[in-house]
Amino acid sequence: MATNQQRREAAKRKLERQLERRMEQQKRRRMIGAGVVGVAVLVVAGVVVWIVSANSGDSTDTAASSSAAPPPTEIQIPTQRTALPKRATPLPNPTTCDFKADSTGKAPKKVNPPDGKNVPSTGTVNVTLKSTAGDIPLTLDRALAPCAVQSFISLAKQNFYNDTMCHRLGTEGLQMLQCGDPAATGDPTTDGQGGPGYTMPDEAFPEIKYGRGILAMAKTQAPNSGGSQFFMVYGSADGLPADYSVFGSITDEGLKVLDAVAKAGIANPNPQDGTGAPTKQVKFTGVTVQ
């Protein structure tokens, strides 16, 4: 039978073993805890590194994009159409048009001039410009500019405009697309000089206002110098003097095509005035006269 001293020593050893087990358990708990914290730190560190790397990449991209050319600003196009002007005094009907040979001799695509006798000065003519950018229907008004209408119809029937490109797009100030140069190639330094080999009289009048939907003849600064070139106004025409013969209007369908061309921008702007060939090419494949 164990003595009291033996029982005390046995109890002491048992207590020591219990204390050792508790210390071992606490030690294991601390290691597991440290391991969990360690994993958490690694994960957090990984996240921090990823965020810093991602932000660094974004910052680099932002810096690179800010140093590059800014994207083109979307142009603002008015939606309100401009009403066609009216002559204070109607022209005689019929009238006479003096189509003269072009003294400059610039006729890369020469055609027969139209008949200038007994030209009607009343009524309208529907025309559709078939182009690579879409159909552009027009309404020509003889009461506004009978000579311009007579010439345009004659050129269309002789296929003059076929395979010609619109060479000049303006998106600021004067928002228009100019066409009708048979020699145009998209070079802003040389485009705009070609014609049909004849000129026509000016038919502008003081009541003319240019704006969205207006169709007018182009010309040089010299009087009576219009030929085959014309321009279609799809937006504003701030400050344009009433020197250019208005001979019709552009339908809503045609304006949608011009809007899309304008929003695509200018391919090669002229450094002098910022106009140039449109990025979205407009090349005529035919003209129908109804």
How would you write the pLDDT of the chain (290 residues) with one tens digit per residue? 555 555 556 655 655 565 555 444 433 333 323 233 333 333 333 332 222 223 333 332 323 333 333 455 689 999 999 999 999 999 999 999 999 999 886 678 879 999 999 999 999 999 999 999 999 999 999 999 999 999 999 999 999 999 999 999 999 999 999 999 999 999 988 999 999 999 999 999 999 999 999 999 999 999 999 999 999 999 999 899 999 999 999 999 999 999 999 999 999 898 889 999 999 999 999 999 99
Q: Which residue has the tokens 């013969």?
A: 245
Which of 181, 189, 177, 77 has its CA nearest to residue 136? 177
Ramachandran area for residue 138 (φ above 0: left; ψ -120 to 50: alpha; else beta): beta
* pLDDT reported for residue 11: 57
What span, in angstroms and rounded, lies between the C-alpha atoms of 215 and 162? 19
DSSP code per residue over 145-180: -HHHHHHHHHHHHTTTTTT-B--EEE-SSEEEEEE-
User: Distance from CA of residue 98 to its chain's centroid?
Assistant: 39
> Any residues with CB less than 8 A from the CB of 56 and at least 6 apart, and which?
none
Contact 229, 196 (CB under 8 A): no
Dihedral, 93, 150, 253, 177 alpha carbons, nearest 10: -120
Q: What is the CA radius of gyration of the chain?
A: 40
What span, in angstroms and rounded, lies between the C-alpha atoms of 226 and 223? 8
For 100-289, give the CATH class. Answer: mainly beta
pTM confidence score? 0.75
Q: What is the DSSP letter of 260?
A: H
Give the domain ranges of the chain: 1-67, 100-289
